[in-house]
Amino acid sequence: MLLLAAIADAAPTRPNVVVILADDLGYADTGYQGSPDMVTPNIDSIARSGVRFSAGYVTAPVCAPSRAGYLSGIYQNRYGFEDNPGPYRLREDVKIGIPKTVKTLPERMKALGYVTGIFGKSHTGDDIQFHPLNSGFDEFFGFINGASNYRSDGKWGTKINQPSNPIYRGFQKVEEMEYLTDAIGREAVSFIDRHHAEPFFLYVPFNAIHGPQQGTDQDLEKFKDVVNEKRRFALAMTCALDRNVGRVMEALRKHGLEKNTLVVFFSDNGGLPKNNGSLNTSLRGVKGQLWDGGIRIPFCLQWPAKIKGGRTLDFPISSLDLLPTIVSTAGGKADGVDGMNLIPFVTGETVPPNRNLYWRFNRAWAVRDREWKLVNQGSKPQLFRIAEDISEKTDLYVQQPDVVKRLQADYEAWNATLMPKLWGWDKSFPVFDAKGTGE
């Protein structure tokens, strides 16, 4: 008996997994990314204790398709998830969401014996078949749509609990009065407290700092001297986001789980400065575009039991890589996906391959390898040595015809494997100017 107990104590246990997703957070909007005014000590601690990816990308420059790519590990264009769900479908019979033929990350984790929970903004389809509890999650608290009020009070004239966009616990509509970012953090902590003795996959998609811009009185007071009102709200809302990241991390520490928990933090797309006061410095472009400002985001992870901390890795990665990374750490296999397991590269066991990453968003498209990025955000493609020209300033299309030819052929081959576009913003999406600053 003593021998068996010793063996059990020595045996490695599967890690818990926590994925924290910010909403519309700009590339420069955390302290560890160099922001002089954002107060994000808890987010920074993940980067400090783990690794920061300087070239971390998502698969789309807007919320819903980006989340679909992460949750499926497959380019969402393969199954027709081209843009945010909404009333602008080109075919009314098209149900926007991750098809039931695609196995989602929570479904894979549940099959491996993990309890699964999502707390926050779902936004991967409003049809009942795409509800989180029908998509692999055991527990859900939050909302289905793309945005929600953060506070309910007469002073602001706002209400979180709207008939058209309710807060749910599971399938049930509930009344929520706490500032929503704090409520999401509260529910995530409760999940850890209740499931700390079993392996769990916790997904916390905060809606901060997506509009509408609403902060707590206390958080806004901290930044009362900031003249730019949109920036002041961004600072206050990010402060609340970071506070609740801290609550999640403290819950892990309370139960002795931090060392053997894989924690990931990233944003669903880049910021939209004119809308939410975020900053994408030094990237070109904004949310909704395939310049790096729309798709390159703060991205870091920690797993103290396995990964040495305090490092910055510069090779390009994608949110597609999270599913195979997480499933592999849980002891499973993630075949048939577009991402790759990052752990061997993060630990230094293997050298990452020089693969291509691809994007197709309405009329725009892009492809990048480790050194180059070919992007068509307007009327013609442009080529950038993205490894050195992070701001996409110097177009080398004419000077590098062989690179253009290779990347264009790669993109066309990839594009030929995708589902035809059945819906989208093609006629109504805002027009962006050639400099990528947006209207």
- Answer yes or no: 123 catalytic: yes
Q: Beta strand 261-267 with 364-368: parallel, antiparallel or unpaired?
A: unpaired
User: CA-CA distance, 333 to 340, in Å (whole number)?
Assistant: 11
Closest CA to 356 of 380, 375, 382, 378: 375
- Answer yes or no: 63 catalytic: yes
Q: How many other CB atoms sit within 10 Å of the CB of residue 399?
A: 11
C-beta separation of 237 from 15 below 8 A: no
Of 123, 131, 195, 210, the catalytic one is: 123
Give me the residues paired with residue 51 across strands.
301, 311
Radius of gyration of the chain (CA): 21
User: CA-CA distance, 265 to 119, in Å (whole number)?
Assistant: 15
Task: Read off the amino acid at residue 161.
Answer: N
Kind plus residue range of the DSSP H or E element containing 281: none
User: CA-CA distance, 13 to 30, in Å (whole number)?
Assistant: 32
358 three-state secondary structure: strand
Q: How many other CB atoms sit within 10 Å of the CB of residue 426?
A: 13
User: CA-CA distance, 74 to 387, in Å (whole number)?
Assistant: 25
C-beta separation of 289 from 29 below 8 A: no
What DSSP state is assigned to residue 153?
B
Give me the residues paired with residue 115 across strands.
200
- Report the number of secondary-structure helices (H) and strands (E) in the chain: 12, 16
The length of the chain is 439
C-beta separation of 161 from 175 below 8 A: yes
User: CA-CA distance, 294 to 286, in Å (whole number)?
Assistant: 5
C-beta separation of 67 from 337 below 8 A: no
Kind plus residue range of the DSSP H or E element containing 423: none
Closest CA to 144 of 152, 303, 162, 99: 162
C-beta separation of 105 from 78 below 8 A: no
Of 63, 131, 195, 239, the catalytic one is: 63
C-beta separation of 245 from 265 below 8 A: yes
> Which residues are annotated as catalytic?
63, 123
